[in-house]
Structure 1
Amino acid sequence: MENIRELAVDMLSEIMEEGSYCHLVIRSVLQKYNYRDSRDKAFLKRLVEGTVERCIQIDYVLDQFSKVPTVKMKPFIRNLLRSSVYQLLFMDSVPDRAVCNEAVKLAGKRGFRQLSGFVNGVLRNIARNKEQICFPEEEKDLVKALSVKFSMPAWLVEKLLKEQGEEKTRRMLEAFLQTKPVTIRLKEDLSASEKERLISAIEKTGCKMSAHPYLPYAYCIEGAEGLLALPGFEEGLFQVQDVSSMLVCECAGIREGDRILDLCAAPGGKSIHAAQKLKGTGLVVSRDISEEKTALIRENQQRMKIQNMEVSEGDARIFCEEDKEVYDVVLADLPCSGLGIMGKKPDIRYHAKKEGLESLKALQREILKNAVSYVKPGGILLYSTCTINQGENEENAVWLTRQFPFGLESLSPYLPEVLKEEGKDGMLQLIPGVHETDGFFIARLKKQENKQT
């Protein structure tokens, strides 16, 4: 039987050394070892995700207690120590002695017996001096202090402080490290009794359900081992979706009979939500770049039993003449840096690069140049991203109004009471820790009507 801690170190090596995506590595391994005890799988998931999430802080601690800097350690030893320090500092249920002993055994098992003493010495020293660990002082260097405390690259902390200010940045960084419940969207046409029965059935599986304060059909779920097995999932009674994503279709102001294009649609949550808002009328064209992505959309479409929706492959960067001025609403939820969902995908912070943000902004504008042509005169372009970077968000929305015949239109009529004031200028930046959602940006832009000659 595979050693769980050894498996975790190998996964960390794949993520931190080879640049593989954390959620994909975890999903693959959990599927492979699905037969394992649920507690083992939960331990493995928490250990890997937690170590990735806290990696900057962990490396800072290791560098205080190790004569060899973490950057110069052998990759297996580096990730063995990282995962061990995470257990020492953040997993109270694991005895310190067991952490040290298991790490020494693993070092020997993997051919590093000569480094067993080094591993043992570093870990036991940290275990004995947990309360005396020194961290950077905010008064001396705020950027470094926040970077280490919240395990966020210093350049990103600096950027957030500049764009969002200290209070919002601090709340955001704290929120990224907190465990958030999963949110689901119940079918809006469920009757009160159907809704009650579904919630009761889900809670009987041991989950805790609570209504989200922003939308009447949004619920938070805690304690679910596998959402796919919950009552109502296969029947299409609910969909896993963050509330920020649900707000996109609210802000689009969809009316029955509308023709809607969802440009970068996978896995199809917004397309399905839009189709349901049409109540069987109109049409949603749900498009994405590859067969793999469109297969995901079709899978969700079939499960949710959506008829008024067509799924097709297409590269949003390539102009489609036959779509010119065809759609009442175009949803442009575009590829982005994903900085708003670092709480769910902790390795995004390491993949993000300054120069990468600029190239993403250029890609978004390349797609938006096409998107504006697909909107009918008087129609709506709903631009959104799951990031908190002004270059990809506000700057793009303002650029659209300057380059094309579009004007920002207030989001307030479409938002819950608590958000109305923030959305009055046609843009809304949702921030974790400030709002009860992922980090997300929404802009509503209306195309000018053709002038009569």
Structure 2
Amino acid sequence: MCASPGNKTTHLAEMSNNKAFITALDKTDKKVETIRKNCEIQGVSCVKAFMYNSIRCVSNEKHRNDGPPFPPNHFDKVLLDAPCSGLGQRPRLVQNDMSCKMLESYEILQRKLFNAAVNVLKVGGMLVYSTCTVTMGENEGLVKWALEKYPCLQLIPAAPLCGGPGLPDSGLSDSERLMVQRFGPNDDPLRPVDEIYKNSIGFFIAAFRKV
């Protein structure tokens, strides 16, 4: 979901030795063309890319044979690389004119996308949520909201655990904080992080199982 420019998509294909069945969605022709071009450059042939709004990617109505919308409980795994405020990108931390209202709008969008991701995921399937931002609302706040809203979801370790734990005082228990990953300069006694992983952009990863 929200797959452009396709770096994670092609990496997933590489991890599967180009044998997975991967569907990549983004909402504009330009973004989908970028995904397809990256797949071509990387020699990836197992990806089908579609122009489609991921919020509406699941439907109980009649479905196409080869593309969205998809029926509920359709995919084994879903990667939601959510649109975010991007505050983990270093240049944006230096100078940023984003308003509080704009920041809050990302949280609303992320929850709509997450709802679609849960519905299109099979029981027993895995959902990975990621952002390249540092705000609690878009990261730990989303995880807390998801666990409260969807009893069918179980938080699981976002392995391999290279980054630090989630922020304290975010509504997550220590055991839950240890299952997510937050990359950045902060250190936390719950899980000390190697210097090589501190010297990165700020981003966040959480993984769920649908039970």
Contact kept? 1:386, 1:441, Cα under 8 Å: yes
- How many residue pairs get aligned? The number is 180
Distance 1:436 1:346, change over 3 A: closer
- Deviation, structure 1 residue 358: 1.2
The correspondence for 1:408, drawn from 143, 155, 158, is 155
Q: Which residue of 1 aligns with 2:118?
A: 372
Matches within 5 A, 1:180-219: none
Contact kept? 1:339, 1:348, Cα under 8 Å: no
Q: TM-score, normalised by structure 1?
A: 0.38
Q: Which residue of 2 aligns with 1:311?
A: 49
Matches within 5 A, 1:33-44: none
CA–CA separation in structure 2 for the residues paired with 1:276 and 1:348: 36
CA–CA separation in structure 2 for the residues paired with 1:380 and 1:392: 20
Secondary structure in 2 matching 1:401: helix
Matches within 5 A, 1:412-427: 413-416=159-162, 419=163, 422=165, 425-427=178-180
RMSD: 1.9
Q: Residue 325 in 1 paired to residue 73 in 2?
A: yes
Distance 1:340 1:264, change over 3 A: same
Distance 1:348 1:312, change over 3 A: farther
Of the structure 1 ranges 431-440 and 321-330, higher mean CA displacement relative to structure 2 is found in 431-440
Contact kept? 1:432, 1:438, Cα under 8 Å: no
Q: Which has the higher helix share?
A: 1
| Unmatched 5+ stretches in structure 2 | 60-69, 167-174, 188-197
CA–CA separation in structure 2 for the residues paired with 1:289 and 1:347: 30
- Deviation, structure 1 residue 391: 0.6
Deviations, residues 245-279 of structure 1 (Å, cap 9, x unaligned): xxxxxxxxxxxxxxxxxx00000000000011111
Q: TM-score, normalised by structure 2?
A: 0.79
CA–CA separation in structure 2 for the residues paired with 1:427 and 1:346: 23
CA–CA separation in structure 1 for the residues paired with 2:34 and 2:119: 27
Specify the structure having the higher radius of gyration (Cα). Answer: 1
The correspondence for 2:141, drawn from 386, 395, 403, is 395
Corresponding letter in the other structure for 2:123: P
Secondary structure in 2 matching 1:379: strand
Q: Which has the higher strand share?
A: 2
- Deviation, structure 1 residue 320: 2.2
Corresponding letter in the other structure for 1:428: Q
Contact kept? 1:410, 1:444, Cα under 8 Å: yes
- Deviation, structure 1 residue 360: 1.1
Q: Which residue of 1 aligns with 2:66?
A: none
| Unmatched 5+ stretches in structure 1 | 1-262, 449-453
The correspondence for 1:335, drawn from 83, 93, 109, is 83
Higher RCO, 1 or 2 (CA under 8 Å, sep at least 6)?
Answer: 2
Secondary structure in 1 matching 2:104: helix
Q: Residue 354 in 1 paired to residue 100 in 2?
A: yes
Contact kept? 1:431, 1:437, Cα under 8 Å: yes
Contact kept? 1:288, 1:294, Cα under 8 Å: yes
